[in-house]
Structure 1
Amino acid sequence: MDASVQDELARLEERFLNDLEVQPVPIDSVLNTLRYLKQSPHAKLADAWSQMALGKLVELGDRPALVQLLSLLATWRSDIRAFGETCRSVLKKASQDRVWNACVDSVAFGEVAPLESLRRLGFLDNCKPGSLCLDKTWGFGVVKRIDDFYKRMVVDFTTKPAHALSLANAGENLVFVPSGHILAVRHRDPDAFARLIREDPAAVIRLALASFGAVTVTRLAGLLDEHRIVPAADWKRFWEGARKALKSDPLIEIPTKRTEPIIVREEALAYGRGWFTALRAERDIPAIMRSIAALEAAGEAVVLDDFARAALGDRLAFALKGAYNVDAALYTRLTLTVQRLKLATPPAAEMSRHLLDGNRFLAAAESLPVRDIALMVDFLLANESAAAAQLLAALPEMSYNLVAVTAEALIDDPAHVAALQTRCRELLAAPAVPPPLLVWVLRNLPKVVNWPLPSLYELMGQAIAIIEDQTLCGEQLRMQHQLQGLFEQAKWFEAAFTSFDPLQREAVFSRIYGNSAMGDSATQRMIVARMVRIEPALAERKQAGSAAESQAEPALRWTSWRSLRERQEQFRQMVEVEIPKNSADIAHARSYGDLSENFEYHAAKQQQAVLMSRRDEWDLDLKQMRGTHFANIDTAVVGMGVEVTFARGDGSTQVYSILGEWDRDEALGILPNRSRLAQTLEGRRVGEQATIPGTAGDEVVTIQAIRPLGEAVRRWIGAPAAPGGAASA
């Protein structure tokens, strides 16, 4: 061995031995020496010297230093059982104290990782009567006494006074509550803490965040309720008071999303050159957005010079590039941020063209709040001359929020209002009306009263047809429920029904009375009662209908076997998958607490109502519906199971196949027999005329041919290739 190395080891050994002779032993110096040896070429000496240190500490009975040394050695050993037994033996030799030995026996040496056993022992050794602790089951508590004979600890928990638990349980599950913790503050002076809750809720929130760490608002509400600081029933009022005060606190940032934690800073943000330099180096898009949101929240306190604007423009351009063709909603939020900050780059024209290309604004609107949708539409109209025409062209594909925002943006603009009116007429006069547009028009009748639209009577018929449609899903299903809600609103429905002439009232009555799609029996009776109150003559129709219903057999309902099996599978999926998942979603959302402001909970409950209603409706429909291949159908008149060709006034012809209630395929020209077009053609013969709805209003057509279903349609329904001759189902 080199002489210099020997001299170093000699000096190291001399210092180590001197440390062991000092009382109390400077354990940090001893541990540093052992760590140095373990990492040097002389690692074997570390094991020998550590045994020397163990012997000395046992001799002195220095329990805290012994625990620290064993914790270091535990990181060098992988044999849990053997080293655990070594720890137990060494620690029991260090003291004859009965409580200490009871604790050593209770921390599972040899059963769990030695470091965990030593952690438990450290807790128990420092636990004295009066110590404040926290248990995940029982909450806050105060240690009353420790019983070494029965190896148990008695704790006064807030929820369970004088609760006895084993030392093993206490070491594993209890943690100390620091003196500055919110629970310790309340324990020391409950009256002062109660005043703090009433008078300064923001201070309580700051104390809670310092105690529990960065948590979401929902989790914070749950913790304060769990520890009986702010009950769930009082949370909304308490949080509103706290949030107002915290908005002006530069150390607290409340996120806009409920899923993000409240940010607590050690010092207020200084928006100087260093901050913008750091922003320019940031490459995480969510972090960029959070930083800029905090900057905007600072308001007029921040002055943006050229350097700051360049940094903001650079990072927003980077984020826009990341969202390009990936996330239309994120791209839109970034675009709106550029506009709010009045940055020259990225160029507004470039961003607006990207949102218009491929109608990306449609996808963006699905994930944006109404406020941002309105800002997006205003931005597009301000920066692209062709935006209005493109928005109107996309009207049938829009969600309700985007329809409403677009219509409101164009309705007061003389340059575009005529185009808006024309487009609405085209869509509302078509056989398939976009439900979101129909809902918007019916909700805003005073605004469109002078527009050249189909009559309110026709729109009412379209609404009933949508309510009757059992194939809707997603946004269209939501609009179906909105239309049902309009019919249930007394003021709206009575005003609309009053505007009809007697024949129109009778026609609407006949479509609503006894129609299960209009809601449950109580809802139907309510709507019928309103109609009868406005038109008393309808009472006779009601009585006649009731008598007929009591005597007549239920009308048969038919659809193709293909559609029936599809609906049966959809029903099975709903009952076995969607409804159980919704129940799990409700339970998960309820765990967030504060149900009054819990969006996830209310959304899940609303979805539950939709699913339960749909389950009952589909169950009844499946019991009434019959499957058929439409074989041997009479082709003398237009009806279910035939192919009909009619000629328009301009000489063009159109072919449709009319099938059952649940059958629809636009590409093959398949119509359900309860659609408006099918019902206007029903019963007509070759050569007869019928008035059907068209894009520019009603038009007269002539029936040219009535044939059996074509091969393509028969393949679609899975029927045998060759049609028969006599009527049968």
Structure 2
Amino acid sequence: MDSELEKLVESGKLTTKAAEQLERLRPGSFCLHKSWGFGQVAEWNLLLNQIVIDFKTKARHPMQLAYAAENLTPIPAGHFLARKVKEPDAIKALLKSDPAAVVRNVLEGFDGKATLAQISEVLVGDLFTEAEWKRWWTSAKKAMKSSGYFSVPAKKSEPIALRAEPVSRADELLTFFNQTRQSKEQAAALDQIIKFHHEFNDPKTQLQPIVERIENTAAQNQKLHSPLTFELVLARDELLQRAPDLKITRPELTLERLISEEESRLPEILPKLPSAKERRVLQALPRALGDAWTRRAWQMMASNNPRLVPQIPKIFAENGKIDELRMLLERAVREHSASSEMMVWLCRERANWPELITPEILPAILSAIERDQHNEASRSSRLRDLLLDDRELIGDIFRNSEVGAARDIMRRLLLTPVFDNLTKRSLMARVIKLYPELESMATGGQPEERTETLIVSWSSLHKRREEYEETVNKKIPENSKEIGVARSYGDLRENFEFKAAKQMQAVLMRRKSELEQMLHRARGTDFSNADTSQVSIGTIATLRDVESAQEEPYTILGAWDGDPERNIISYQTAIGQALLGKKRGERVTLNTDHGSATYEVIAIEPAPVDVAPAPVEDQGVALGAG
């Protein structure tokens, strides 16, 4: 012990324990403080009872000897933090040449165990930028796993630990697999075994028990957890491809048989699989289902799953069935039965399907958006967003088309309930850019041809008229006053209030024109005397799903009526149009979440009469007449 420290002990100014601790904190040595972190002892000043420490954030910091002995932890010269200061060039070289050795050195400073956050705190800043650290850590992990001296957990929050003896990756993977308790963990462990199958020196001995176990798990889970069964069988098959000496113990458990047995549930199962495994199931459809595979593949394409839909056309192409797919797509577009995800895919891939990108596709798009809005379970905005955001789509649809087709589509666009008026005008402006002669349809002028009559309920007609009266008698006069007040502020070029008021004036005048046009076309009814010999406006049609036998009523009302939660629909919607004219016992195909489903009309009854009184000047429409 230093003689000066001995004197302090003899005089009672230091305890023997404190002196022994200070002996390890000589000038030039390194230490840690729980608050200030890493530091280097700069000097002793025993006469003043002080020790001076250079911390990273507190240079030349004096501490009383007894306090320093109690609160500073000496660290050896081989500690990574010490080496970083004493041997910076050697450390930088080691980072490149032996990343595992660096991690070992860091872990030794944490008693052999540290989290990723603790390791990065030691390295990032002094030795790496954040981006450099991420790249380096990727290579370091590979080196650590190869060495066998590190236990690297799957979760970042769990500590990485040093091992006394190396463990081969094969043994580590087997241990991990055998320790799994959950089937999903087992599947994840199996994926790692497949990835590193070359690490197993004796695959037949080491991996055959794995094959037996996963086959048993797969068989046990088929009824309750079919996606897991598919995943395990696919993984088993991949493992057998990598290790040909392994044998199947359940020959009846094949991918093709699974597909055949679970055919009707494939639209539910496939989205739950990893994308690579999903594709392998799709590729096996022809082998599993024979000539019927295209029918099932098409039904899955209509399932409205955003990940599944783009994969199906690839399977058609790989099996030489692209012409059949084209016919199916043409029919779906023509019948307005294509799902929204099918339309998203087709619009994005339109360069490869130019024969389908015609004006006829826009009503199919609108019908799909309307179905999505009606169906709470599958409500999606992807197709709607695509139609609005893809500025070239409208132009591609109407390229080389006649003005008559564009006029018909604009009428359909005006009638759809899924867009507000400003959005409709934005879309119509893209059509008008191609056909300037149709501008009157957007500005509120009467089209050249006779417009279609709208059958509406008295209550919805009252609401439209009230909106018109409020617009004409209240909103427009108020706006005129705002324009006058804003004009009085002077200098109209820099007058924000004036510009805002004029913009609002344009909006109000457009809305006034829209309401006038709608009211001009509207014919009110109370839905009494509706024709119940067939599905018609003012009736309730009860449908039965042919496959599931589930029954569901639909109330078909006027153009401005609709309450999807109560299955009240406008006769102008895709479902309404499909049902109109159908009689009891007839069948109709409607698009559902799981593809096209067939329904039978089992009952037609009159809808409740609209109790709102008819205006005196409006005689209305007698639905039962004619």
Shorter-chain-normalised TM-score: which range? Answer: 0.5 to 0.7
In structure 2, the CA distance between the partners of 1:337 and 1:264, relative to structure 1 (3 Å rule), is farther
How much does 1:138 deviate?
5.2
Per the alignment, residue 613 of structure 2 pairs with 726
Unaligned 5+ segments in structure 2 are: 1-8, 241-245, 446-455, 461-523, 543-552, 582-587, 592-602, 616-626
Q: Which has the higher contact order (CA 8 A, sep 6+)?
A: 2
The structure with more helix, counted as a fraction of residues? 1
Per the alignment, residue 366 of structure 1 pairs with 271
CA contact (8 A) 1:329 1:364 kept: yes
Per the alignment, residue 133 of structure 1 pairs with 32
**In the aligned structure 1, how far is the partner of 2:365 from the partner of 2:71?**
61
**In the aligned structure 2, how far is the partner of 1:96 from the partner of 1:559?**
103
- What is the identity, as a one-letter code, of the residue corresponding to 1:188? K
Residues 139-184 of structure 1 deviation map (CA, whole Å, 9 limit, x = unaligned)? 5444668999999997644345456899999999987766555434
In structure 2, the CA distance between the partners of 1:248 and 1:670, relative to structure 1 (3 Å rule), is same
CA contact (8 A) 1:486 1:492 kept: yes
Per the alignment, residue 17 of structure 1 pairs with none
In structure 2, the CA distance between the partners of 1:515 and 1:248, relative to structure 1 (3 Å rule), is farther
In structure 2, the CA distance between the partners of 1:336 and 1:195, relative to structure 1 (3 Å rule), is same
**In the aligned structure 2, how far is the partner of 1:348 from the partner of 1:428?**
44
Give 2:310's match in structure 1, choosing from 404, 410, 415.
Answer: 404
Per the alignment, residue 396 of structure 2 pairs with 495
CA contact (8 A) 1:470 1:662 kept: no
How much does 1:338 deviate?
0.8
In structure 2, the CA distance between the partners of 1:532 and 1:669, relative to structure 1 (3 Å rule), is closer
Q: Percent of pairs identical after alignment?
A: 20
Give 1:267's match in structure 2, choosing from 166, 169, 178.
Answer: 166
**In the aligned structure 2, how far is the partner of 1:312 from the partner of 1:288?**
10
How much does 1:406 deviate?
2.7
What count of residue pairs does the alignment treat as equivalent?
Answer: 493
Give 1:341's match in structure 2, choosing from 226, 233, 239.
Answer: 239
In structure 2, the CA distance between the partners of 1:241 and 1:269, relative to structure 1 (3 Å rule), is closer
CA contact (8 A) 1:642 1:706 kept: no
Per the alignment, residue 526 of structure 2 pairs with 633
**In the aligned structure 1, how far is the partner of 2:373 from the partner of 2:304?**
21
**In the aligned structure 2, how far is the partner of 1:244 from the partner of 1:277?**
18
SS where residue 280 of structure 2 aligns? Answer: helix
SS where residue 613 of structure 2 aligns? Answer: coil
- What is the identity, as a one-letter code, of the residue corresponding to 2:229? Y
Per the alignment, residue 459 of structure 1 pairs with 361
In structure 2, the CA distance between the partners of 1:484 and 1:291, relative to structure 1 (3 Å rule), is closer
CA contact (8 A) 1:202 1:242 kept: yes
- What is the identity, as a one-letter code, of the residue corresponding to 2:365? A
CA contact (8 A) 2:83 2:91 kept: yes
**In the aligned structure 2, how far is the partner of 1:330 from the partner of 1:527?**
45
CA contact (8 A) 2:33 2:72 kept: yes
In structure 2, the CA distance between the partners of 1:513 and 1:189, relative to structure 1 (3 Å rule), is farther
CA contact (8 A) 2:146 2:169 kept: no
How much does 1:374 deviate?
0.9
**In the aligned structure 2, how far is the partner of 1:364 from the partner of 1:324?**
11
Alignment of 1:142-541 (within 5 A): 142=40, 156-161=54-59, 182-197=80-95, 204=102, 219=117, 223=121, 229-239=127-137, 242=140, 266-269=165-168, 271=170, 284=181, 285=183, 288-289=186-187, 292-300=190-198, 302=200, 306-321=204-219, 323-342=221-240, 343-345=246-248, 347=250, 350-352=253-255, 353-354=257-258, 356-357=261-262, 359=264, 361-385=266-290, 389-397=295-303, 399-414=305-320, 420=325, 424=329, 428=333, 433-449=338-354, 456-467=358-369, 470=373, 476-477=379-380, 480-481=381-382, 483-485=384-386, 487-508=388-409, 530-538=430-438
**In the aligned structure 1, how far is the partner of 2:396 from the partner of 2:239?**
47
Per the alignment, residue 539 of structure 2 pairs with 643
**In the aligned structure 1, how far is the partner of 2:222 from the partner of 2:38?**
51
CA contact (8 A) 1:465 1:676 kept: yes
In structure 2, the CA distance between the partners of 1:252 and 1:507, relative to structure 1 (3 Å rule), is farther
In structure 2, the CA distance between the partners of 1:431 and 1:101, relative to structure 1 (3 Å rule), is farther
- What is the identity, as a one-letter code, of the residue corresponding to 2:526? I
Residues 515-563 of structure 1 deviation map (CA, whole Å, 9 limit, x = unaligned)? 9977998x98986665454334455655568xxxxxxxxxx99999xxx
Per the alignment, residue 471 of structure 2 pairs with none
Per the alignment, residue 675 of structure 1 pairs with 573
How much does 1:340 deviate?
1.0
- What is the identity, as a one-letter code, of the residue corresponding to 1:368? L
SS where residue 32 of structure 2 aligns? Answer: strand
**In the aligned structure 1, how far is the partner of 2:57 from the partner of 2:90?**
21
**In the aligned structure 1, how far is the partner of 2:417 from the partner of 2:223?**
45
CA contact (8 A) 2:200 2:206 kept: no
How much does 1:315 deviate?
2.5
CA contact (8 A) 2:458 2:613 kept: no
Per the alignment, residue 664 of structure 1 pairs with 564
Per the alignment, residue 490 of structure 2 pairs with none
CA contact (8 A) 2:100 2:140 kept: yes
Alignment of 1:51-70 (within 5 A): none
Moved more, 468-477 or 481-490: 468-477
SS where residue 569 of structure 2 aligns? Answer: strand
How much does 1:231 deviate?
3.0
- What is the identity, as a one-letter code, of the residue corresponding to 2:339? P
In structure 2, the CA distance between the partners of 1:664 and 1:475, relative to structure 1 (3 Å rule), is closer
SS where residue 397 of structure 1 aligns? Answer: coil
CA contact (8 A) 1:641 1:708 kept: no
CA contact (8 A) 2:107 2:114 kept: yes
**In the aligned structure 1, how far is the partner of 2:294 from the partner of 2:444?**
52
In structure 2, the CA distance between the partners of 1:335 and 1:357, relative to structure 1 (3 Å rule), is same
**In the aligned structure 2, how far is the partner of 1:270 from the partner of 1:439?**
45
In structure 2, the CA distance between the partners of 1:305 and 1:500, relative to structure 1 (3 Å rule), is same
Per the alignment, residue 25 of structure 1 pairs with none
SS where residue 302 of structure 2 aligns? Answer: helix
In structure 2, the CA distance between the partners of 1:283 and 1:410, relative to structure 1 (3 Å rule), is same
In structure 2, the CA distance between the partners of 1:363 and 1:226, relative to structure 1 (3 Å rule), is farther
Per the alignment, residue 600 of structure 1 pairs with none
CA contact (8 A) 1:661 1:672 kept: yes
In structure 2, the CA distance between the partners of 1:287 and 1:465, relative to structure 1 (3 Å rule), is closer
